[in-house]
Amino acid sequence: MTLSTEDIDRIIEMAWEDRTTFEAIHFQFGLKEQDVIELMRKEMKPSSFKMWRKRVQGRSTKHEKLRVFDKGRFKCSRQKQITHNKISKR
C-alpha cells in the first residue's frame, strides 16, 4: 500500500492523539497497530519515536477494548470536525 504525504502526516497526528485508537487508524487507513509502529519508526527521529512509544505503551485509550466508556465517543468542544480525512467547513 502506498500512502500519500498527507496520509502519512494524518496517521502520525492520529497516532500522537491520546484518544484516537489504533482501531480508528486501521478503519480509516487499513494499517494495523504494528504497521503504525513501523511507520512511526521510519518517519520520526529515534528520540521522538522512543518518546511516542513510551507514551503509547499501556495507554488504555489507544485500544477500543481497553476503554472505560461503552457508548459514544469523547470529543473536545474545540476539536475540528473531520469527515473522510478532510476538515469539513462550518
The C-alpha R_g of the chain, in whole angstroms, comes to: 14
pLDDT at 50 over 50: yes
User: Where residue 42 falls among pLDDT bands split at 50, 70, 90?
Assistant: very high
Is the pTM above the cut of 0.85?
no
Average pLDDT over residues 4-21: 90
Q: In the chain, where are the structural domains located?
A: 5-87
Residue with cell 480508528: 24
**Concatenated DSSP letters of the chain:** ----HHHHHHHHHHHHSTT--HHHHHHHH---HHHHHHHHHHHS-HHHHHHHHHHHTT-GGGSGGG-S--SS----TTSPPEETTEEPP-
